């Protein structure tokens, strides 16, 4: 494992997983604006891969992003792809490390990724049923009737004080949900909802 995730030149603190040392070392190399723009596609790939591993897809088609990994990718994306195809037990042991990496990548990629509404079982929700909407602390905000729209979800979500403390939710012309974060706020991997038919 270390041979894959801890290449020469990347030092690792005692409490770090090897993949963290690689990711943070890589991010330190691209702190300049020009270099960041050049490497942006790799950060987007890395973000999509991590979200897949954490079972909370964020970008519109994370599977397609992973399929774009080629021999010409950088160490970060190749290492994450390798982690994705490893034993699930190994992936679980890296979960906290991946969450920390995801938060760090998100600070580099403000607004790069649309947010999905995910239920407590990790399933992405559609508007076929009535929806209970929760804030970032998993407290119930309110309920939307079946057939609800993205705009209705946005309006209800933005009524929460807890949500307002991290940013403002918006929707684009396609109905995709985008969270405009306040400064220095770690990104969240998804929005929380629950179809009410589960309780019937």
Q: What is the pLDDT of residues 115-139, one digit of tens each?
A: 778 888 877 787 878 999 999 999 9
* pLDDT tens for each residue of 55-111: 655 544 555 666 667 777 888 888 887 777 766 666 667 777 887 787 777 766 654
Q: Write out the two tokens for 109.
A: 């990629």
What's the chain's Rg over C-alpha atoms? 18
CA 96 to centroid of chain Cα atoms: 13
Average pLDDT, the chain: 76
Q: How many domains is the chain partitioned into structurally?
A: 2
**Phi, psi (rounded to 5 degrees) for 55:** 60, 35
Of 164, 200, 162, give the one whose Cα is nearest residue 182. Answer: 164
pLDDT of residue 163: 95
Q: Are residues 17 and 76 in the same domain?
A: yes
| pTM more than 0.85 | no
Asked if 57 and 124 touch (Cβ cutoff 8 Å), the reply is yes
What range defines the domain where residue 40 resides? 2-108
Q: Let me know: does 115 contact 106? Beta carbons within 8 Å.
A: no
Please tell me the predicted confidence (pLDDT) of residue 185.
75
Q: Are residues 35 and 52 in the same domain?
A: yes
Q: Are 67 and 87 in contact (CB under 8 A)?
A: no
DSSP conformation class of 48: H
d(C-alpha 21, C-alpha 135), whole Å: 32
Tell me: do 7 and 97 sit in the same domain: yes
> Do 82 and 103 sit in the same domain of this protein?
yes
Residues 99 and 179 in one domain: no
Residues 95 and 137 in one domain: no
Same domain? For 79 and 18 the reply is yes
Q: Quick count: other Cβ atoms within 10 Å of Cβ 65?
A: 21
Please give the pLDDT value at position 32.
64
Whether 52 and 140 map to the same domain: the answer is no
């Amino acid at each position: 494992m270390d041979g894959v995730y801890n290449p020469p030149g990347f030092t690792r603190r005692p409490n770090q997983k090897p993949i963290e040392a690689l990711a943070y070392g890589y991010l330190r190399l691209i702190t300049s604006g020009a270099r960041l723009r050049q490497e942006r596609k790799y950060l987007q790939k890395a973000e999509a891969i991590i979200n897949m591993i954490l079972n909370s897809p964020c970008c519109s088609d994370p599977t397609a992003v992973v399929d774009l990994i080629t021999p010409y990718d950088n160490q970060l994306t190749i290492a994450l792809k390798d982690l994705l195809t490893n034993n699930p037990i190994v992936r679980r042991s890296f979960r906290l490390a991946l969450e920390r990496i995801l938060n760090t990548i998100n600070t580099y990629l403000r607004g790069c990724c649309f947010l999905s509404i995910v239920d407590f079982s990790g399933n992405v929700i559609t508007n076929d049923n009535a929806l209970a909407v929760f804030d970032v602390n998993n407290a119930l905000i309110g309920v939307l009737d079946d057939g609800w729209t993205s705009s209705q979800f946005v309006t209800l979500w933005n009524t929460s004080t807890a949500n307002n403390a991290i940013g403002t939710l918006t929707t684009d012309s396609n109905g995709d949900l985008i969270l405009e974060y306040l400064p220095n706020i770690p990104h969240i991997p998804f929005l929380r909802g629950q179809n009410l038919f589960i309780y019937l």
